[in-house]
A and B are shown apart, each in its own frame.
Chain A
Amino acid sequence: MSWTISARPDAIPATRVEARHLVQALQAGCDIAAARSIALAVGRIHVPLQALATVEKSAGTDDCIFCVGDFSRWDGLGFGLKSGQLIVEGDTGARTAAELVGGTVEIHGNCGAWAGAAMSGGRLIVHGETGDWLGANWPGELRGMTGGEIFVHGRARHHVGVRMRRGTIAVAGPVGEGAGRGMIAGSILLAGFTQGIVGQGMKRGTIVLGPYADCRTSISATGFPEADCFRPHTLGIQLSHAAAAGWKPAGAMLCCRSVRRYLGDRLNHGLGEILVLSDSAEGATAYT
């Protein structure tokens, strides 16, 4: 079965809506009446779902939930999703697809902070922009995302993939400061301009910077002394996979002729790597 939740334009909540249980409640197999009465916390009070949105249920084999409208004040949409699909035609609030386990969450709009935070599987696709802490760890937790994939077609703000342990984050647009800080493993593909230093304190993992990144300001000279120009074979596999998932910059990044590879963060005894792709033939890899 599939559900369609349409945000009511005449009932825009005055404060944040906690919607982290919504998707799981709908997937539990409730009927339309029960779905309409799902209680959502709006500030300190609870209101039924039908007070904020219209709910429709349609028969079918696809386990899909459509959300249409402005959900920018709804936090936790797709939280802990294990299977199926959540498609949002509009903006969402904080913690979208956080702790995602499986399935796909696709946002045709912008996301708030903590999108995909601490996720362990599944796929999050954001066609717009995301807030801070994309795929990062919860405050006080040692690990950020531990699996799955995040593809962002727009920009992302600060602290992308902080302390991520596994999985892939790909951002097509510019990113803010602190991307890949304290990274433990996994991959971050950044096609756009990067603000500040990336990969600070990383232990392992791979950060790939596209031709628009300025490596003079993005890479700590002490933490990442230039190592070599080896182009890993897995880079092509990774970019091909991202291209197959519809992440557009992958094609151009695949065509980049040269790779510079920095290892670090030496200040943290790290074995991570930052791969800087470039169109120029200068420093083109000697390897095939």
Chain B
Amino acid sequence: MHRLTSILPLTLLLLLCYTATKGQTCTYTISGELKDRGSNTPLPYATVYIQETQSGTVADSLGQFTIPGVCAGDYHLKFSHIGCDTENYFLQLTADTILVVFMAHHTELLNETIIHGKREDNVTSVSNTIGRRDIVTQSSKSLAGVLENIAGVSVLKNGSGISKPVVHGLYGNRIAILNNGIAQAGQQWGNDHAPEIDPFAADHISVVKGAAALAYGANALGSVVLVEMDNIQSDPHLHGEINYLFQLNGLGSVLNARCEKAAKWASWRMSATLNARGDLKSPHYYLTNTGKREANVSAQLEKKIGEKINTKLYYSLFTTETGILRGSHIGNLTDLENAINRSIPFFTRNSFSYGIEAPRQTVQHHLLKAEVNRLLKEGNTLQFIYGGQLNNRKEFDVRRSGRENIPALSLLQQSHYAEGIYKTIFGTNLLLKSGIQFNYTDNSNNPETGVLPLIPDYRAYSAAWFVILQKEFKKLSYEFGARYSLRQLNAVTISTTLPRKIERFYHLFHNYTLSGAVKYLPAANHKITLDAGYMLRPPEVNELYSAGLHQGVSGIEEGNRNLQEEKSVKILLADDFSVNNKLFVQALTYYQFIRNFIYLQPLQEYRLTIRGAFPLFVYRQTDATLWGADLMVTYKPTDRLKFQLKYAIVRGRNAAQHIPLVNMPADNLFASAMYAFPDVGRSKNNTISFNGRYVWKQTRLLPEQDFLPPPNSYFLLGATAGTQLGFKESELHLTLSAENILNTVYRDYLNRQRYFANEPGIAIELKAGYIF
């Protein structure tokens, strides 16, 4: 009986709807204009298609379209154009409707601001964004691998499975990675610790290169990587996508499913990714033990409470098991020298395997985020965010007597973050954004390892306050920001001498950040941004307290308790312009000076242990300068043809000692050419493209700064062919791509594996994506 009463009104409602639709006259008109998001200019000849009626029209030369005689009802509109992602729009038609649809056509002109439509956020920031479709087509790569497509971003690797982004020469502790607005709180200090983020869950991945990112907190010295999800579309139907990818090199498979729906009780989105591959193959041999497993899930809920309150809940779990090249595991310096002199790494098997043995890493990372936005009077808003993270990292080494399944490093880190932000607009166009942030991190070593910990147990607290002012005046936009944070660190160390003693240390750091930016728009197709910032970064726990043998670098690392904050000044000038909507140029140059730059200094002395003598590395401070330039040029002579060129250089100097900085990316050039064929029947966006990447040899390094001189320059050739098949309510995307087509033998300076083995050879991938 209960059941019946609950079903009855629903049935009635449905019937009512049905009769209402049936009784309606079909006289409504859907009209509108299509514009290019990047240039804000009309986009001619795009296709408008109504799924329900299976009819549509083509916009005119001014981007205008009109569809007359449409009945009242719910419709899914699709807007498509050569070289753009299809835009979907859900419309409840109850009257004549005029739409302005922005399409991401000239993506090279897009920045974060426009994509998110949040005018107030980073109106002056210099950033580059990678969209959903590009993320999906590169999903066999890690987060850093996807980011490498942005000029100025390089990748620091430990073999093929572990990679982290390098932006303008800085990485690790010095750049912040924000997953859905929360600073990633894993073990970012380790060069062999990749950020624990599934790029597949993201809709946009951006790099904010300027100093204007201070609101993101963390302890970045400039650049910030943002991994972001879109709001869930207000479409009451179930939509989603299923992607499958097959990699020939490593016989890997990636499966991802994602769906979302704006249900009555709340809007929700779920995403899950499974990724497994075995040993990769370099041109002449297998890279034994370089397999990888990954399983990730995420869920997002959005609910509007009344007119004024918007709530969001997000949870994600990232789990991975990554093998590390067996031949790169060494015992001491003699082993390293032997390994360097090998043509094929030790322990190389001449057969493929999915197996993962020691050395390997396993990581689980949980993120829970809750967000409440409240709209106040006069357009003011108040926002609360909580972000909790739990990171469980275990690293397994080759050990004696069955201890390979006992981790040699086992860390559990939890962190809690709370933030409150208030936004208000004074007068017509002065925006003020101010917030308070608290963060608590607790890091514990699990004594199961039977090894003295490299990083001590610690707790860190920080509290911060920031304010950002933004003003637009005619062709100028200004932004000023200030941030103060207090960071407290309590470290509990175990002495390296006998008897083992527990010692407690306490640090307190005051940090200030100041930033300013001016954007000048001399014309609609021209933008000049000048951005400057002064930032302090407190030393991280690894820099203060590392103690022990770091087998990864064949050295003994010692922290330095007396380190001071790094003080950095960064100035960045960006110039974006286009000529006749055919040529698009983004040029950027920057200079950064870092006082008290923290680095690992190899000492002249060797430390004698029972494993032999090891070089001793101590954290020291110096003054460093970094400068560089990023350039991206796109030329589209016609809508069907697109040429692109990206070029980046970075120079880093230890200014006090007049020597180069280590781990600076070499100069690199990327060029691509793409042709879009005319649509054939169901198949649209038929494209073929070729690309080449040239990486110069890193010549700015002294022989005594490394065990081995940097590897030679290399050129890699790639190609991609893709099509999109359109069906009534869905689309099928097919892509075939190949990297390193020439099977080039090469090594990369920023990959630690370069001491031991070549990079992977030819990699062919087939991707299929079904979108509904």
Say whether A associates with B.
no
> A-contacting residues of B (Cβ < 8 Å)?
none
> B-contacting residues of A (Cβ < 8 Å)?
none
